[in-house]
Amino acid sequence: MTDATLARVAGLFRAVGDVGRLKLLSQLLAREATVTELATSTELPMSTVSQQLRLLRAAQLVKRRRSGKQLFYTVAHASVCELVELAADAAIRSEAEGTVASAATKSAGRDESSRAR
């Protein structure tokens, strides 16, 4: 990969590297929505939603369309869905593996302490 491509990838990860923005993206994976709808469903202040959507648009992760006075937001392309879903899957897998590893470490510690007696 070129340095320019790597810089773009890093920018995408920075853009999705915020819980609030991930909440918005997860809502937009299901359907398009207005700022008001997103603020209600995510329980984030409207000003925060607007600011986060602006950042996601700048990163070309979401797009908007106007219908009358309303602006509707949606994910920009299918690869955004894949990115969020893959990241969520990786987080779930690492959490599960961490739980298994943690349990194995605790179990090993108990075995060693019982042998010492």
DSSP 87-109: HHHHHHHHHHHHHHHHHHHHHHH
pLDDT digits (tens, 9 = 90+) for 39-75: 999 999 999 999 999 999 999 999 999 999 999 999 9
| Mean of per-residue pLDDT scores for the chain | 85
Q: Please tell me the predicted confidence (pLDDT) of residue 86.
A: 87
Percentage of the chain exceeding pLDDT 90: 54
Give me the residue spans of the domains in the chain: 3-116
CATH code of domain 3-116: 1.10.10.10
pLDDT digits (tens, 9 = 90+) for 24-34: 999 999 999 99
Provide the whole-model pTM: 0.74
